[in-house]
Structure 1
Amino acid sequence: MSVLALALATGRPSIAQHRVDKLWETDSVLAIPESVLPQRECLYVSLIDGGAWAADHKGGVARLDHHGKVLSDTWITGLDAPKGLARYGNLLYVADLSNVVVIDIPANRIDHKIPVPGAKGLNDITVANDGTVYVTDTQQSNVFKIQEEKPSLYADSLKGVNGIKAVGKLVYILTGDGMYVSDAPHKVRKLCDLEHGGDGIEPVGNGDFLVTSWGGWLYYVNAAGDKQLLLDTHETNHKTADIGYDPETKTVYVPTFLGRSVAAYRLSADHGQ
């Protein structure tokens, strides 16, 4: 049955199909890349290097150009197990175990750290338009909100909580079983199931998202919660961690974690469906 015929039979609108085509991939030279944040000047990449949850001071942040050339793999050093990245103005926020590390981008240095009391495994991070920071704690199943440098509990009991993204007045959250949306503290609503758990999340417009499961799955999730598998590398060491997305070029940047590389893909509508 065609997509159109299925839509007519079920009374649901036809789901637009999408695809990703590989553009490039770096050599396997990055020390456990976990997150990619594309910016106009470069790509920022968090490097865990040591243990995934170890306070070993081996982690850091690298800079790549938009074609995958490593500009510096030691731009910022001395972190523990850095994961999610977010930017607000000239500050880069990094989720790093029990601290949010704040980097002064023009000065190329750590400005200060924001300790998050009770946190053990800070993972992904996002900044809302008003400067409010949201950060997930995978180890404790919590989400924290930081306003004026002061952390407070935003949501709890979210097993396997990982990816997070503030979009307008909403906060989208990925957990070990699905994708959720929140419009107020301690209030979440499930949008769709994720059988392999959630990791990276990026909005692509019109309420649609790109979502990854760490093991090697990249999905397109539309506003209705319907998902389409775009990429499957789970049988290799190329994982799909905390992706970045450039809406101007429609480029998806995938940190492969154990693959020790970053791969870039072009997102497009699949007119062959």
Structure 2
Amino acid sequence: MKKKVYYVLVLFTISFSSIAQHSLNRIWITDSILPIPESVLFDKADQILYTSLMDGSPAERDGKGSIGKLTVDGKIINLNWISGLNAPKGMAKFNNKLFVADLTEIVIIDIKQQKILKKITVDAAKILNDVTVDKKGVVYVSDPKVGKIFKLENDIATVYLENLNKPNGLKAIDTDLYFLDSGSLYKIDPKKNKQLLAEGMDENTDGIEPITDNAFIVSCWTGVIYYVHKDGSKEILSDTRKEEYYTADIGLDKEKKIVYVPSLFKKTIAAYSLR
């Protein structure tokens, strides 16, 4: 009997210790002067942060939106690095180009020349949200309003996935596409075989960043940030829903384990070390 009890205790200890407890510890926060930051993108090559600034309604075509640049320690470089957008949200970088979701358009920006190269209209879209680019340069963009994920290849936008609920956060890794949809995380392979990886998160899942192999940081714009383990279990790293401190589309310095969090209507971006 004693051996059985000991065996159960050992198994419980191993199981419990296999899920490490993580935390977010704030390093810095900007002043409350950013005009509604929706997304942050960490650029490893240039060691800067891009942020999409809606400066208005998430669905309004007003020409007030912009892309800003900050240093990795939170100092503002230029909040109007690229201006004249509407309600810009997710961003992705590939080579020297920045791809931005802006309502019904995918805006392609030449980073070195600091100018918009073209705007490609996605006819079936209503409010494009997150963007990711695979290793071949194929762009994927989500639209939670219409329940679809679109693919942009050779400047032609087509429907890649449809009949979804509220697809938002996207991340292309190797040949697979990971996406968030109403509190769940999925992986889809090139043959469009879909696999559920985690569920039960706040239904307003927004940003997704891989922290290790098959483990992710997931944000929900209502104010929750999760650590999602490879077995589908999850930890709540931060929950500011009661304070209405929104946590939108996060950025990540994977090597230094720094998470960059835009706060939307609090008009700040904060950096947190992940432990």
1:214 matched to 2:221? The reply is: yes
Q: Which amino acid aligns with 1:200?
A: G
Q: State the alpha-carbon separation in 2 of the partners of residues 236 and 12 from structure 1.
A: 31
Aligned-residue offset at 1:188 = 2.2
Residue 268 (structure 2) aligns with: 261
Q: State the alpha-carbon separation in 2 of the partners of residues 131 and 237 from structure 1.
A: 37
Shift in alpha-carbon separation, 1:179–1:172, aligned structure 2, 3 A: same
Out of 232, 251, 254, the residue aligned to residue 244 of structure 1 is 251
Identity %: 41
Q: State the alpha-carbon separation in 2 of the partners of residues 22 and 140 from structure 1.
A: 36
Deviations for 1:66-117, whole angstroms, at most 9, x for unmatched residues?
Answer: 1111111111111111000100001000001111000111111111111112
Q: Which amino acid aligns with 2:211?
A: V
1:201 matched to 2:205? The reply is: no
Q: Is the 8 A contact 1:208 1:220 kept in 2?
A: yes
Q: Secondary structure at the match of 1:17?
A: coil
Aligned-residue offset at 1:185 = 5.8
Q: Which amino acid aligns with 2:36?
A: I
Aligned-residue offset at 1:5 = 4.8
Shift in alpha-carbon separation, 1:51–1:225, aligned structure 2, 3 A: same
Q: Which amino acid aligns with 1:193?
A: E
Shift in alpha-carbon separation, 1:93–1:221, aligned structure 2, 3 A: same
Q: Is the 8 A contact 1:155 1:187 kept in 2?
A: no
Q: Which amino acid aligns with 2:259?
A: V
Q: State the alpha-carbon separation in 2 of the partners of residues 108 and 55 from structure 1.
A: 22
Shift in alpha-carbon separation, 1:136–1:208, aligned structure 2, 3 A: same
Q: State the alpha-carbon separation in 2 of the partners of residues 7 and 160 from structure 1.
A: 39
Shift in alpha-carbon separation, 1:72–1:9, aligned structure 2, 3 A: closer
Q: State the alpha-carbon separation in 1 of the partners of residues 273 and 184 from structure 2.
A: 25
Q: State the alpha-carbon separation in 2 of the partners of residues 162 and 256 from structure 1.
A: 17
Residue 3 (structure 2) aligns with: none
Residue 144 (structure 1) aligns with: 150
Aligned-residue offset at 1:183 = 0.6
Q: Which amino acid aligns with 2:180?
A: L
Residue 23 (structure 2) aligns with: 19
Q: State the alpha-carbon separation in 1 of the partners of residues 37 and 91 from structure 2.
A: 12
TM-score normalised by L of structure 1:
0.92
1:87 matched to 2:93? The reply is: yes
Residue 271 (structure 1) aligns with: none
Q: State the alpha-carbon separation in 1 of the partners of residues 80 and 222 from structure 2.
A: 27
Output the aligned Cα RMSD: 1.8
TM-score normalised by L of structure 2:
0.92
Aligned-residue offset at 1:206 = 1.6
Could you list the runs of 4 or more consecutive aligned residues of structure 1 that deviate by over 6 angstroms after TM superposition?
9-13
1:179 matched to 2:194? The reply is: no
Q: Within 5 A, what are the aligned runs for 1:1-273? A: 5=9, 8=12, 14-39=18-43, 40-184=46-190, 186-197=192-203, 198-268=205-275
Greater C-alpha Rg? 2
Count of paired positions = 265
Shift in alpha-carbon separation, 1:164–1:194, aligned structure 2, 3 A: farther
